[in-house]
């Protein structure tokens, strides 16, 4: 199949099929759960003034953010027509996740929800995220446990079957070509880039993230180290 042919399939999938897969029913509830799962460590007592979400899509994650903030920048390779209207604190920016147009050490928190498995160079993206987050800042990453056994089995029984019922027989192909990065490989890249940071990982439904064959999701909550100078000033 030509590249152009795949791009047509991809456009059709995200325009006609994907919205139906995530709205209502068990799949819609699970889609919402993935966002709540990533935000679980936070509540209204936490504040991150400047937040960047990389790979924000239409802005689906925004409504699940639980902490306080003043500025929430949502970025994606392109801003879809269906981008959700939110409030004055939020904005959309079209940019490549592997070349972020933001200054160093600016954001208090960076969010990546189901993004890394799509990228050609996830390591470059992680380095960019590390560059733009402040010392002592927070990074939240959600990764599907693909190609774990549990993840693939459930996907076949749900989204692939439902896509076929909707008249789309290439769901497995679109998924295979888009989920190009193995969860185990992404785990090693995250640990490498943030080797000096505090990393807390959690799987679902099993807590132990390294058991990705039996999980559907892996979340990473990363706190970057505070610089030596800042520690001295605060002493």
Q: Where are the domains of the chain?
A: 3-234
> What does the block give as tokens for 152?
């693939």
pLDDT of the residue at 80: 73
Q: Quick one: 67 exposed, middle or buried, by C-beta within 10 A (0-12, 13-18, 19+)? A: middle
CB 142 within 8 A of CB 37: yes
| Per-residue confidence band for 21, with pLDDT thresholds at 50, 70 and 90 | low
Using the Cα atoms of residue 194, residue 204, residue 76 and residue 70 in order, give the sign of their dihedral. negative
Q: What is the mean pLDDT of the chain?
A: 87
Report the pLDDT averaged over residues 134-143. 97
- Our measurement of the distance from residue 105's CA atom to the centroid of its chain's CA atoms, rounded to an integer in Å, reads 20
pLDDT of the residue at 98: 96
CB 48 within 8 A of CB 39: no
Report the pLDDT averaged over residues 224-235. 58
pLDDT of the residue at 89: 94
In the predicted structure, residue 28 carries a pLDDT above the cut 90: no
Burial 129-148 (b: 16+ CB within 10 A, else e): bbebbbeebbbbbbbbbbbb
pLDDT digits (tens, 9 = 90+) for 164-204: 878 888 777 777 777 889 999 999 999 999 999 999 999 99
> What does the block give as tokens for 114?
């189901």
pTM for the structure as a whole:
0.85
CB neighbourhood size of 62 (10 A):
19
State how far the Cα of 135 lies from the Cα of 113, in Å rounded to an integer: 22
In the predicted structure, residue 235 carries a pLDDT above the cut 60: no
Considering only CA atoms, give the Rg of the chain: 18
* Three-class SS state of 228: helix
pLDDT of the residue at 24: 57
pLDDT of the residue at 228: 46
pLDDT of the residue at 188: 96
> What does the block give as tokens for 190?
């995250």
Report the pLDDT averaged over residues 152-162. 77
CB neighbourhood size of 149 (10 A):
12
* Three-class SS state of 151: helix
pLDDT of the residue at 152: 85
Q: Name the architecture of domain 3-234.
A: 3-Layer(aba) Sandwich (3.40)
Report the pLDDT averaged over residues 2-28. 67
pLDDT of the residue at 167: 82
């Amino acid at each position: 199949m030509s590249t152009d042919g795949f791009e047509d399939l991809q456009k059709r999938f995200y325009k006609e099929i994907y919205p139906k897969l995530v709205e209502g029913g068990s799949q819609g509830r699970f889609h919402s759960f993935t966002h709540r799962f990533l935000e679980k460590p936070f509540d209204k007592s936490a504040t991150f003034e400047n937040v960047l979400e990389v790979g924000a899509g239409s802005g689906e994650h925004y409504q699940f953010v639980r902490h306080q903030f003043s500025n929430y920048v949502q970025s994606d390779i392109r801003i879809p027509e269906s981008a959700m209207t939110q409030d004055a604190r939020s904005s959309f920016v079209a940019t490549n996740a592997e070349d972020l147009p933001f200054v160093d050490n600016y954001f208090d928190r960076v969010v990546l929800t189901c993004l890394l498995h799509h990228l050609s160079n996830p390591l470059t993206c992680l380095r960019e995220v590390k560059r733009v987050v402040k010392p002592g800042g927070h990074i939240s990453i959600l990764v599907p446990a693909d190609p774990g056994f549990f993840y693939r089995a459930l996907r076949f029984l749900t989204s692939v079957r439902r896509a076929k019922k909707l008249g789309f027989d290439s769901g497995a192909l679109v998924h295979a070509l888009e989920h190009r990065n193995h969860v185990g490989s992404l785990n090693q890249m995250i640990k490498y880039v943030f080797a000096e940071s505090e990393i807390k990982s959690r799987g679902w439904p099993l807590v132990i993230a390294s058991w990705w064959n039996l999980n559907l999701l892996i979340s990473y909550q990363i706190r970057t180290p505070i610089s030596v100078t800042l520690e001295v000033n605060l002493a």
